Amino acid sequence: MRRVEQKYGNQYNYNSVLLETDSDIFHTEAQRTRRHKGDKLEEKEIFMKESIIESFIKEFFINKENFFECKNNIDRYTYWSLMHKIERPIQDDFAYFLHKKMSETNIVSIEYSLGNRESADIMILSKKGERKILIELKACFAEDLEEKKIKTKRGYGTKIINDYKKRKKIITDEKYFILIASYHYDMPEKNDIDDSYIVNYSDNMKHSTKLADEKKNYDDFFYTAKNNIKNYKKYSKQLELRDSCSNNIKLGEAFGIKCGLYCFVFKAKK
């Protein structure tokens, strides 16, 4: 077994490693300690619950510098969140971020063919072409995560479960499902704006007004939505919500409307 250390920028991160054997690559995060024993250097690894891919998910979705990269990305994501559901541009940017991090040891593929006209949003493969990590992204609006909506047939709780069921038999080391929920706030009144080009404007307006009436905002609703997800019992058997990877991301403003995104990350249980 030889050790492959994962490089971040110009520094090596000794908390994250890839372990490679002749036949396979295992992604894991380890705490590494070194000490001298006589003339020999002894190395010890304590394996942690968090995988290497989760550390990259956190780097991208929690670290705003990585998520936005530059001011232009804030403006683009803000505009896109008003025009349509936003998973595709985020999927492409996240895949490229993973490619930059993993290209020495892995292949990161977008819209990877699974056969039968099915494809995975992102698939991470070994250099030999073996499927290692599957990632699916889904987009919705914040109001879709209300308790009464999340459990319905068309609710996003059900849609995440359905995505999991469709991918359950695909053999990989790990599977992740990322839910991106956009929200708009401080919106102009309808008579002050032509809302025909803004996706889901009316429902968003109602939800924003409802939160204001309850003296709440979208920072508060992030935790409400997270609890609604956790209380949806169908998740607990098949998926685990990874709290440390979930985030509320403030975007910018377009057409006089402020925008933001929630990110919720689920990991399939073995």
Contact between 183 and 261 under an 8 Å Cβ cutoff? The reply is yes
Q: Give 92's Cβ-side CA count (13 Å radius).
A: 5
Is 257 buried (19+), middle (13-18) or exposed (0-12) by CB count in 10 A? buried
Going from the C-alpha of 61 to that of each of 47, 77, 97, the distances in angstroms are 24, 13, 11
pLDDT tens-digit series, residues 70-83:
666 788 888 888 88
What gap in Å lies between CA 30 and CA 230, rounded to an integer?
Answer: 28
Bin 115: left if φ > 0, else alpha if -120 < ψ < 50, else beta.
left
Q: Which helix (H) or strand (E) holds 128?
A: none
Both tokens assigned to 232: 């949806």
Q: Is the pLDDT of residue 68 over 90?
A: no
DSSP alpha helix (H) spans, the chain:
52-61, 64-68, 71-83, 87-102, 147-150, 156-167, 201-213, 218-230, 233-238
| Nearest residue to 4 via CA among 133, 109, 131, 103 | 103
Q: Where are the alpha helices (DSSP H) in 134-198?
A: 147-150, 156-167
Q: Residue 43: pLDDT band by 50, 70, 90 thresholds?
A: very low
Backbone dihedral angles phi then psi of residue 84, each to the nearest 5 degrees: -165, 175
* φ, ψ (nearest 5 deg) of residue 109: -110, 140
Which comes out higher in pLDDT, residue 94 or 5?
94
In whole angstroms, give the CA distance from residue 257 to residue 10: 39
In sequence order, what E strands does 100-154 have? 106-115, 118-126, 131-141
- pLDDT, tens digit, 9 for 90 and up, residues 144-168: 888 888 877 677 777 888 888 889 8
pTM: 0.77
User: CA 66 to CA 61: how far, in whole Å?
Assistant: 8
The neighbour count for residue 22, using CB atoms within 10 Å, is 6
Terminal Cα-to-Cα distance of the chain (whole angstroms): 24
Output the CA angle 223-228-233, nearest 5 degrees. 140
pLDDT digits (tens, 9 = 90+) for 183-192: 988 877 665 6
pLDDT tens, residue by residue, 207-216 = 888 887 888 8
